[in-house]
Amino acid sequence: MAALIWVGCSTGKAGSTAQVSVPNNDSLLRYPAEKHLKNIHQLTYGGDNAEGYWSFNSEMLVFQRRNMNEGVPCDQIYYGKVPTDGSRFEYSLLSTGKGRTTCSYFMPGNKSVIFASTHATVDSCIADPDKSHGYLWGVYNSYEIFEADLKGNIIRQLTNNNYYDAEAVVSPKGDKILFTSDRSGDLELWTMNIDGSNLKQITNELGYDGGAFFSPDGNSIIFRASRPKTEEEVKVYKDLLAQQFVKPTAMEIFTCNADGTGLRQITQLGGANWAPFFHPSGKKIIFSSNHVTKRVPFNLFMINLDGSGLEQITYDTVFDAFPMFSYDGKKLVFASNRNSGGTHDTNLFVADWVD
C-alpha cells in the first residue's frame, strides 16, 4: 500500500529518469543509535518513493513513486540497479503511466515484475481518499495484478475481476504468488501459481490482511492485519470496505504457514504495526511501528517470532517504513522522511546490515 503520510500521471515509457542529488554522508543520514545500519546511501531525491523491493539476485530494486513537481501525480512503478560505488541511482518506468499502481515485486529470473494497477479500467489518476474522514487507504476494485518485462511491456494480466487484487509478492521457491483480495467479501490473503492458476484463500478472519511476505525458505508468511472486535469497530470496518477504503491505524503483525495453517499473532503493541519482513535468519521480524506514541514518528523495530526481544532499529523523528533485506542478507532498503529538508518527501535508502 502507499506509504503512510503520516507519509502506498507520467505518460512516458521506460527510460532513465534524472534527479538532483546531494553527496551521501553516512554520518548525516544515520542516527547515532542506529547500530544495525552502516554506510547508508540515499537513492532517491524528492516526491514519495516507497516499497522498494529487491530482485532475487540482490542487485536491483523495484519501487513505486509519485512526484507532483515532475508530473507524476499517481504512484507508478520504476526499477533500477543499486549502485555499489556510491554513484547516482538511475531508474526507469515499468508501469504504463496510466491509472494508479501499487506493490511491485520481481518474478523469478529477475527479468520481469508484477504489480497492481488500475489502468485497465481506470486510466486516470485516482485521487487520495478524502482526509476529512480520517486517514484511509484506497482498496479499489479496479486494481488488478499485471506482469511486465523490464522494458515496460505488459506480458500478461494475472487477475481479471471486479475486486481488489494487489499487494502481490513471490515466494523464494519461485512457485507461488501471495496477494490480498476482497473477492470473498473481506480483505484476505490468497495464493496462486506463478501463472495465475490454482487460486487459494489462506486467511479467513474478519479484518484487513495484507502486506504479506514469505520467509527466506518460503515455508512461512508474515503479514499485517486489523482485527475489529466490538460491534462499532466491525460496523466501521465493513462500511469503509463497502466504499473501497480501509483505515490502517490499528494493525498488528501475524504469521502463519505458507498454506495458511498455524496462524499466530506476534505483536500486541497497539497503534499501527505494519510493513513486516523476515530477518535473513528467518527467526526475527523487522517492521514499522508507531506504538510508542500512536502517531508520528514511525520507526523500524525487530522482534523474535515468539513476540519477545523487541528492539528499536531506527530513530527517525518522522517516518521509516517498508524495510526489506536483500536476499544475500547484506543490505537493508527502507523508505524514510530523513534528510528531506523539512518537506516530508519520502525517499529510498539502502544500508549495510550489521547483526
123-173 pLDDT per residue, tens: 999 999 888 878 999 999 999 999 999 999 999 999 999 999 999 999 999
Instruction: Please state, as a whole number, how many other Cβ atoms lie within 10 Å of the Cβ of residue 63.
Output: 24
In sequence order, the β-bridge partners of residue 256 are: 221
Is 329:307 a contact under the CB 8 Å cutoff? no
Taking each continuous run of H as one helix and of E as one strand, the counts in the chain are 2, 27
Structural domains for the chain: 16-353 (2.120.10.30)
Q: pTM here?
A: 0.94
Is 299:345 a contact under the CB 8 Å cutoff? no
Give Cβ neighbours of residue 143 (< 8 Å, ≥ 6 apart). 100, 102, 116, 117, 118, 164, 165, 166
**Edge-to-edge order in the sheet of strand 331-336:** 37-42, 347-353, 331-336, 320-325
- Report the distance separating Cα 333 and Cα 351, nearest Å: 6
281-321 pLDDT per residue, tens: 999 999 999 999 999 999 999 999 999 999 999 999 999 99
Task: For residue 298, give the nearest of 3, 2, 1, 48 by alpha carbon.
Answer: 3
Instruction: Please state, as a whole number, how many other Cβ atoms lie within 10 Å of the Cβ of residue 6.
Output: 18
Residue type, 35: K
CB < 8 Å & 24+ apart, contacts of 198-204:
200/259, 200/260, 201/260, 202/256, 202/258, 202/259, 202/260, 203/256, 203/260, 203/263
Inter-CA distances, 239 with 4, 244, 248, Å? 21, 9, 14
Is 134:105 a contact under the CB 8 Å cutoff? no
- Report the distance separating Cα 225 and Cα 59, nearest Å: 30
Task: For residue 139, give the nearest of 246, 297, 252 by alpha carbon.
Answer: 246
- Is 8's pLDDT higher than 90? no
Looking at 67-81, 125-139, 180-194, which range is the least confident one? 125-139
Highest mean pLDDT among 11-25, 130-144, 224-238: 224-238
